[in-house]
Amino acid sequence: MDWTEKYRPRSLSAIRGNNKARDKFREWAETWDDHGDAVIVYGSPGVGKTSAAHALANDMGWETVELNASDQRTAAVIERFAGRAAMNETLGGSSKGESGRQLIVLDEADNIHGNYDRGGARAITKLVKEAGQPMVLIANEFYEMSRGLRNACESIEFRDVSARSIVPVLRDICRQEGIEYESAALERIADANSGDLRGAVNDLQAAAEGRDEITEESVATSDRDRSVGIFEFLDQVLKEESPQEALYTSYDVDETPDDLTKWVEDNMLDVYEGEEVARAYEFLANADRWLGRVRASQDYSYWRYAGDNLAAGVAAARDGTKGGWTRYGRPQFWRSKDKTGDEVARQIAESSGASMSIARRRIVPYLSVMTHHCKPRDLTVAMAAYYEFEEKHVAHVTGSGESTKKVQSIVEDAEELREEAMEAHSGGAFADTASGGDGEADSALDGESDGATDDTKAGETVEGAGMSAIEADDSSEESTSDDSGSDAEDDDGQAGLTDFF
């Protein structure tokens, strides 16, 4: 039997390593009749969030009803669930502790993405506001959930369980299983799991398989693939770890060096000051140069050098360790997934022949840099005309407000520019055709020539700025290959921009 299930805490008092969070969780439940709010319990995998929810229900005498967010979460499914939850208010008791009360547990609440989730996030927000029963949302990443959902709930953070708190749990399990142990062996297991209590119990069970004694030598804890969250990575680079440890941590983050550089750059100024900033920017500039080589040569072995600079280098730029909590934000060019962002990527992809992924990750960032807050205006107008952007699309790319006169006038000018281009490309179809005969042919030729001239006019203003931005990003590297068929993503991205220019 799986020891994590066999020894799952049956009471909230048995939860280890998060005493303050545990007490706050109990207080939320005991006063639920007074406030009626849902609660988000969040923290790293394996710290006991789900166990705490079930233990709390057991303490309170409540039944549990689970809705796992990894299943299909369409609005219709969630609304049916919400209706059942609301109806249960009249079926159960209204006083705390009565067995008729149900605890609604929504696991993986930060995993509401994809086609199956259409309307799901809104429906869950509505559910937490209307459900007639106490509700717990379990999440790994608090800020992966929508702001509306976060604001509608209380929140309790479960922190990583220290090795000092993990060891007594492992010791108790060994005693109950009748297994002899060396203290050093249990300490090694606890240290290897970096705050993951569930992982430590799994490793203990693996080490005890077929044995009646666990020694330090017999502990063969595999280096578990523990995925480090992006916010934990930022804390370790910008606040806590040595350069070497920060580099090791970067290996465990499920992001590319390109993406990590954006995360560090956009959040560094919230932590670093003065000379720290200047030193850190030197390392980020070096990382960007190596990333430019990757894009130019498609040789991804250069990523290691970018990683050295963005993690170890930036950590080395710090003067000692830093405390406190910092609210990290997504990089400037990584707006939260939304309908407008998808529309922008789709229109760029259709215009340039690139994939939506390339459009989103390679083309949009360049356009955002070159048209930040709609400057220069001529370039922004040309962009809006070329990709047939509406106000919301221009606002998404440039960072300007959709309802501002500046954005609205840009879209109006872009429409005029498109109309002029259409007329120029018509081959004289809109011209006076009274002359007929050879005159029509001459007119068509003239129109065709004019069209070619007018077609380049929209991009004429920006060609130098746009190409220099690409050249600067790629540093001094130049691709000398004439083979255009196999250079995959980055070539597609450059082709998409080149079409625009």
Q: Which residue has the higher pLDDT, 68 or 432?
A: 68
Q: Write down the pLDDT at residue 403.
A: 77
- Dihedral angle sign, alpha carbons of residues 492, 498, 499, 501: positive
Whether residue 461 is predicted with pLDDT greater than 60 in this model: the reply is: no
Strand-pairing partners, residue 68, are 107
pLDDT of residue 4: 85
Binned at pLDDT 50, 70 and 90, residue 117 comes out as: very low
> What is the per-residue pLDDT for 396?
87
> What does the pLDDT read at residue 494?
53
For 247-284, letters b (16+ CB in 10 Å) and e give: bebbeebeebbbebbbbbbbbbeebbeeebeebbbebb
**pLDDT digit string, tens, across residues 409-423:** 899 999 888 888 777
Going by pLDDT thresholds of 50, 70 and 90, the confidence category of residue 462 is very low
The string of DSSP letters for 52-66 reads HHHHHHHHHT-EEEE
Please name the fold of domain 3-157.
Rossmann fold (3.40.50)
Q: Given this model, what pLDDT does residue 52 score?
A: 94
Predicted confidence (pLDDT) at residue 468 exceeds the cutoff of 50: no
Band of the pLDDT at 452, cuts 50, 70, 90? Answer: very low
Residue 306 and residue 474: Cα distance in Å, rounded? Answer: 13
Domain boundaries, the chain: 3-157, 163-214, 249-331, 339-475+487-500
Q: What is the mean pLDDT of residues 356-373?
A: 82
pLDDT at 85: 57
CB 165 within 8 A of CB 21: no
- pLDDT confidence of residue 79: 62
